[in-house]
A and B are shown apart, each in its own frame.
Chain A
Amino acid sequence: MSYRKIYYTSPEACTGCRVCEQVCSLHHEKSEINPKRSRIRIIDMQERGVMIPMVCRLCSPAPCVSECPVDALCQDEKTGLIIVDEEKCIGCDSCTEACDFGAIKVHPVRKKAIVCDHCEGNPECVKRCMPEALVFMKPEEYTVFRGRTTLKKDTSAIWPEHVKNANKKE
């Protein structure tokens, strides 16, 4: 069973504008913008000059689900999404600890776990990503897509120096 996921097209594609964080919080909080409550997050690796959008990877089996002490989380069979039962959730942060991607967190006001829900099947972040750094597709589609884009692109500008020099000599 493969689920549609939010992928990033390449580490160079994201410009770090954080529109995804804004639209995510606007969509879920209704009339407020607060990127700290966004379900998607941009990891800015300033040292390397790379930005990586981080969002729920829909792991199966999902560590957040198995770590939840009150069984408030479950994984939807059809979509693979993590579903939070807000009545059961006690905001204990166990899921946050279990997630290696930092993709699930506890809402600072409501004290309930929040995680990407694909905005009813049409993720706002993907829709609004102007540099087209985000795509929403199945893993097998993504493999083909990634292969095609990599082939098309000239990445020589970001090669490390020794690789560049080696290529020049030829």
Chain B
Amino acid sequence: MQFNGWVGKVLKMNLSDGSVTKEPLDEELALGFIGGRGAGSKILWDETGPETDPLGPDNPLIINTGPVTGTLVPTSSRFTITSKSPFTGILGDANAGGFFAPEVKYAGYDSIIVKGVSEKPVYIWIDDEHVEVRDAKHLWGKTTHETEKILKDELSDADVRVLSIGQAGENLVKLAGVVTGDNIAARCGLGAVMGSKKLKAIAVRGTKSIGIANSDHLNEIVDTIYEDYKKSEAYEWYRYFGWTTGVLGMCKAGCAPVKNYMKSGGTDLEKRKAILDIESSKEYKFKDISCYGCPLACNKYIYIDSLGRNKAPVPGSSHMAVWEIYDYPFHVEVNRICEEYGMDIYSVQLTISAAMEWYERAIITKKDTDGMEIRFGDKEVAIALLHKIAKREGFGDILAEGGIRAGVIVGADPDTTATCGYGKGMDHGPIDCTSMAGLTLSLSVSTRGSGHLRSVAPIDWGVQESLPLKWQEFYKERGAEDLIGKPWVAHPVHAEVATYFEHICTSSDILEICKNTTEFYYFFAYKGREKKDDLEWHADYLRAVTGIDIDRKGLETITSRVLNIEKAYNVREGMLREHDMPSSRFLQKRKGGPLDGKALDPDELNRLFDHYYKIHGWDEETSIPKRATLEKLSLEYVADELEKQYSISKSKSN
């Protein structure tokens, strides 16, 4: 590869026959999709199809790093795992930070692709050029943290980086994730894919270098950014409170759900204030921890007498309020259990809260639940359920299929599991988007089921009370200045905002940069933003690190290409416009809280979705990407395949 940044090698393994091949990185793929999520989605499009069984040998587990991973670029420590999701059956990807991705690059690989199924449990040991599939009998049945410790002892190097699954992944729990250190790539049930391959862990050590095209330019960029951070208010928040700083704003805006969304968000503000991270960090926090190369250090170590040292819990707005439990140490404990078993805490929460509702409505009784009374607010039962789900014991075996499938098995009203996922089968985490048009749109259209990390604007979930000047003007230009404070009105401007943030999220994902430093999160009020927006910064990083000639426009074309191939993947799996639409419970009327009595107007919402598809050049009726759109992005092969499946004539799309 003539460019820097990428290290230029792909490691391909097949666990069925134990073969290991090292191939040069496809330059066309790298320049067309950059890396990370983009390259992963492209490979998935090529290698899988509607006939692929997510838990079968043909489903590849693609671990991708980005060109700036492991370089000095701030927060460039992430990797994306892509695979066909066993949870949703469509495109599945999840990403995590930590130290794993840079180590993979230092070992000399841009991506690792694992196919096939091993007969017995194995782990992969990568030591630069040396790649070995080793027996993992002694690791099977261990938690992720135990696995990591055993491997570090076994390889006698404390700096080896490990990616592993816990019992949840081994037992093919559909809510399983993949864990490295204190970070989890949780979404889409990709831990189960790894479990189906009998792949317990991947351990990496790397001693090679990553080339930098223009180190002076990189130094300059980093200096500017660090200076800007130091001046910004957002940086101070991160330093002191971690990444949950905006949660108070969310709670106030009514985005934080209560009791499986049976009560409206924002009705429990008083109870929440006491357990907010802003309060608890004063009491428990004692040290900041960061991922590789990150100046923010939003991760915190906390000390709680009964639990010892722990990582501060992740789940932003939830606080376990969907179970009607308000207790910070309990929150920490749940987070730790999920991390040790390797489970997605968001999906698990919503699945258990649905079960609690079934019990309350007497859809299930003690007979179904192994004698447990699954009531809202019961801490012991909630913890017991977590263990049962991870081990697939008794009632946990049903819940381990995820909320929607479990609902079908027990014969519950689909409305009770509406929060566990829409048509595409994925929940968007505990966020109450009822009667908030912009938020509903941006959560719904995500290409990995619904999701909060794909296009949500901070404006929409109310993490900040006052809008930065740029956004005030943006709204004004479109005649929507009176929209601020009226989230229930579905105005076309929401689609534009969602698209803007969609590009930012996609570009972060393909470069493998953390979204915390982008406008997507609380950094949206950050001063450096006035000089350049995120895509410009990202193009700058790419120029400095890789030496490719790219500007904001070029990067935007690439992010559009990634979005379109992902959308096309889902369309090929049969996911059309109706699957994007939010489910019943999100259309209900609010009772109490800040948006009391408000509900979304379905017609208005439909028009908003129309507008969103129009901006993207997708068919408004079906949401299928039009041929003209795909051709503009040099995705003719995608258009051909979709055309074969849906027989859309050229004339119609034009």
Contact = CB atoms under 8 A, between A and B. Distances in A.
B288 interface: yes
B207 A34 contact: yes
Interface residues of B, number: 40
Nearest to A30: B215
Given A17-B293, A26-B219, A157-B303, A49 B71 contact: no
B246 interface: no
Given A33-B212, A34-B207, A36-B207, A18 B303 contact: no
Nearest to B152: A46
B70 A33 contact: yes
A161 B305 contact: yes
B207 A158 contact: no
A12 interface: yes
Nearest to B235: A130
B72 A22 contact: yes
Interface in A1-50: 12, 15-19, 22-23, 25-26, 29-37, 44, 46, 49
A164 interface: yes
Contact of A17 (B211, B239, B285, B294): B294
Contacts of B231: none
A22 B293 contact: yes
A12 B286 contact: yes
B100 interface: no
Contacts of A128: 222, 226
B207 A131 contact: no
Interface in A72-127: 108
A68 B297 CA distance: 40
B72 A19 contact: yes
Interface in B200-235: 206-213, 215, 218-219, 222, 226, 229-230
Interface in B280-322: 284-295, 297, 301, 303, 305, 309
B99 to A, nearest CB: 8
B158 interface: yes
B609 interface: no
Given A29-B209, A33-B209, A33-B210, A17 B215 contact: no
Given A33-B70, A34-B207, A158-B287, A17 B212 contact: no
B158 A34 contact: no
Contact of B295 (A16, A34, A49, A130): A130
A131 B297 contact: yes
A108 B226 contact: no
A49 B226 contact: no
Contacts of B295: 17, 19, 130-131
Contacts of A37: 209
Interface in A113-170: 128, 130-131, 157-158, 161, 164
Nearest to B76: A22
A26 B207 contact: no
Nearest to B295: A130
A17 B297 contact: yes
B286 A157 contact: yes
B287 A49 contact: yes
A156 B230 CA distance: 27
The listed residue with most B CB atoms (<10 A of its CB), out of A15, A23, A31, A131, is A15
Contacts of B301: 49
Contacts of B292: 17-18
Nearest to B302: A157
B154 to A, nearest CB: 16
A26 B208 contact: no
A74 B146 CA distance: 46
Contacts of B226: 128, 130
Contacts of B70: 33
B210 A32 contact: yes
A158 B289 contact: no
Nearest to B218: A26
Contacts of B218: 26
B3 to A, nearest CB: 13
A128 B73 CA distance: 12
A124 B224 CA distance: 15
Contact of B106 (A36, A49, A157, A161): A36
B53 interface: no
Contact of A34 (B159, B210, B213, B229): B210
Given A17-B297, A49-B287, A26 B212 contact: yes
Nearest to A41: B159
The listed residue with most A CB atoms (<10 A of its CB), out of B158, B208, B210, is B210
Given A17-B294, A108-B207, A131-B288, A23 B158 contact: no
A33 B159 contact: no
Nearest to B239: A131
A17 B106 contact: no
Nearest to B99: A18
Contacts of B286: 12, 157-158
Nearest to A22: B72
A17 B290 contact: yes
The 8 A-B residue pairs with the shortest CB-CB distance in the complex, in nearest-first order: A157-B286, A130-B295, A15-B297, A34-B209, A32-B209, A17-B290, A15-B290, A36-B207
Given A15-B294, A36-B207, 17 more contacts: A15-B288, A15-B297, A17-B290, A17-B293, A17-B294, A31-B213, A32-B212, A33-B70, A34-B106, A34-B208, A34-B209, A49-B287, A128-B226, A131-B297, A157-B284, A158-B286, A161-B305
Interface of A: 12, 15-19, 22-23, 25-26, 29-37, 44, 46, 49, 108, 128, 130-131, 157-158, 161, 164
12 contacts: A15-B289, A17-B294, A17-B295, A23-B72, A26-B215, A31-B215, A33-B70, A33-B209, A34-B106, A34-B209, A36-B106, A46-B158
